Amino acid sequence: MVFAKETIVKDFDGDGKFDKVSINFETKKIDFLLSGSNYEKQSSLTFDYLDQDAFIEETKRGFMIVNKIGDVLFTSYFKYNRQSKKLELSAIKRTIVSDDLSKENGESIYSVSTKEFVAKWSSLDKLSNKVITLPILKTTIDLESISLNDFNDAFLNKLNQQSLVFYKNEMSKLK
C-alpha cells in the first residue's frame, strides 16, 4: 500500500506482517520499520542532497527510491535479504538528460549482485554535429553490497564518479 509518494506499507520480510518505509524530508533520511526487528525504528544515513521531488514506489520484490541530484536521476532498488535480515540495495539505474550533448546523456544500470554496469549512451559526433547512439557498453564496477541502514547519496555519487570515468574512457576511444 502506498499512502503518499513518501511512504510504503508492505510485507517486505515475508512474515505476513506489514512493514513500513518512508522518506523523512526533515531529517533527509529514509526511515523504516520491519516487523522482524520488532518495529524498531531504523534509518538510512543522512543524505546531503535529497530532492524535494524524491519519492519511493513499491516494486514486485521490494521498493525503489527515486532521487535527482543535479542532472542525474537515480532510481535505487531495494529488497529484503533473508540471510542478513536487512533491506539491501539490489540495483541502481542512472538516467541523464542534458541539454549539453557534449556531456554524458542516456542511462545506465548497475547490478549489485553481478557488479555489472551496462550503459546506453548518446553523444554528439563532432564531425557531423549530430547526436549518435553509442553501442551498449558493459563493464564491471566493484562496489560493496550495502544495506538501507548504510545508504545515502554518497554511495550514489561514488557510482556516478566511476560511471563518468568509464564514459570518458569510452569516449576517448572514439576520437
Q: In sequence order, what E strands does 17-71 have?
A: 19-24, 29-33, 42-43, 55-58, 62-69
pLDDT at site 101: 63
pLDDT at site 57: 94
Report which of 69, 71, 73 is spatially closest to residue 101, judged by C-alpha positions: 71
pLDDT at site 175: 58
Cell 534509518 -> residue: 43
pTM for the full predicted model: 0.90
The DSSP secondary-structure symbol of 17 reads S
pLDDT at site 3: 46
pLDDT at site 171: 72
Contact assessment for residue 56 and residue 65, using Cβ atoms and an 8 Å cutoff:
yes
Per-residue pLDDT of the chain (175 residues; tens, 9 = 90+): 444 578 999 999 899 999 999 999 999 999 999 998 999 999 999 999 999 999 999 999 999 999 999 889 999 999 999 999 999 999 999 998 776 666 678 899 999 999 999 998 887 777 777 777 888 889 998 888 999 999 999 999 999 888 888 887 877 776 5
